[in-house]
Amino acid sequence: MIHYRQEKAFTLLTAEDFKDYASGRRKGLGGFVMRSMMLAASKLYGVGVRYRNRQYDRGAKPSEEVGVPVISIGNLTLGGTGKTPTAAWLARWFRRHDIRVTLISRGYGAEQGELNDEARELDDLLPDVPHLQNPDRVSAAKVAVEELAAQVLLLDDAFQHRRIARSLDIVLLDATEPFGYGYLFPRGMLREPLAGLARADVLALTRADAVSAEERQKIHNQARQYNSQAIWIEMTHRPAHLRNADGETFTLDQLQGKRVAAFCGIGNPAGFRHTISSCGANLVELKPFPDHYIYKAPDIEALADWVAKQRVDFVLCTHKDLVKVGVNQLGETPLAAIVIEAEITVGQAELEEQLNKLVAQVPPDAF
C-alpha cells in the first residue's frame, strides 16, 4: 500500500511542494519536467495496481471471511480524509446498540512495540473499544473474533486491503481534495484509479461544509459516474471541544477572537486550517509537518521557540499530534488540541439501515 510519506521518498520534496507540483500550481519549465517524471512513474505504479485489483476481481486472489460483519473505512487518495472521526462515529453507534466492536488497523508509523498516533487518539476517544494494530490484518481480525469475542470489525484505511472480505465498504472523499488531482501517485494523489469507486457500498463526502453547495453537487456528479448505486452521505467534521495532554477539556469559546499559532502532522493541513477558522480564532501561522510525524525533544524545543516569536494566546494542534507531543504548553503558551467529531448531514437514515442489517447478522447467542 502506498502511504503519503512515500511521496517524500520519490520526490525529496515537502508535502506542500509535492502538492504544488501535482496540482499544477508550480509553473514553468521546472514544474513541467517534474510532472513529466511523476507521470512516467505513476504509469508504472498504475500497472501494478490494476493487476492486483484484477486478481481479486477475478477470484485469483481470494478474500478471507472472518465470521463476523466487517466494515472497511478507506479512501482513494493519499493523506487525511477524516477516517478517524468516521471510525469513532461508527464505533459509538455500535456500542449504543450493545455490539462488541473492535478496530483493526495496519499501524502505519508506529514505533517498535507502540501504538501509532491514530490508535492513541482513538484510545483517548473510545476507551471501551479495543484497537488491534498489525500489518497482517487478517491475523488481527482472527484475534479480535476468537480472543476478544468481537461481533463487528472496523477496518481502518482498508479500501485497498482486499485480503479480508467485508460486509460494507465505506469510501471517504475529502471535499477539499476529492479526486487526487485526477492522477495516480506520484503524478497525483490517487492510490488507485477512480474506477475503484465502483467497489464502494457507501460514498461519504467528508468536510462537506468546507465547500459550496454547487461544489458538493459537482463532486457528487463526478463520483456517480463511477458508482450510481452506493449510498451517498455527507459529513461535517465538527470541532467539539479543546483538550490538553492531561485529558482536561475546555470549551471552544476560549478561542473566539484570540491570536493562535498552530502546527500539525497530518495529510491535509488545509482541513485543519478550515477547522481553526470555524472556531473563530485569528490564525497567525500554521506550521505543517509530514503526515504521522514523530515529535522528538528537539522538535518540541524548536516549536516552543517558534511559538514565542508569534506572540499568541494559544497554540493549537490536532488530537493526533497532541498524543505524541504530550505537553500542556509550549514555553509559556498553553497548548491544546481541537477534538473533532463527525456529524452526518445527508444520508444518515440510509446508512443506519445498512448498519442495522449488519446487527441482524450477529447470532442471538452472541449478545
Detail the residues annotated as belonging to a binding site for ATP.
77-84
Query: Collapsing DSSP states into helix, strand and coil, what is residue 169?
Result: strand
Rounded to the nearest 5 degrees, what angle is found at the Cα of 266, between the Cα atoms of 263 and 270?
75
Q: Is there a contact between 262 and 276 (Cβ–Cβ < 8 Å)?
A: yes
Q: Given the C-alpha cell 491544546, which residue does it identify?
A: 336
The residue whose grid cell reads 468546507 is 210
CB proximity list for 229: less than 8 A, separation 6 or greater: none
Cα–Cα distance measured from residue 99 to residue 119, given in angstroms and rounded to the nearest whole number: 20
DSSP character string of 20-37:
HHHHT-S-HHHHHHHHHH
Q: How far is CA 279 from CA 52, 240, 274, 319, 347, in A?
A: 43, 10, 9, 15, 26
Q: Is the dihedral of CA 189, 195, 198, 204 positive or negative?
A: positive
Cα gap 239→280, rounded to integer Å: 11
Count of positions (residues) in the chain: 367
Annotated binding-site positions: 77-84
State yes or no: cis peptide before 186, omega within 30 of 0.
Answer: yes
Kindly state the cell numbers that stand for 9. 521518498
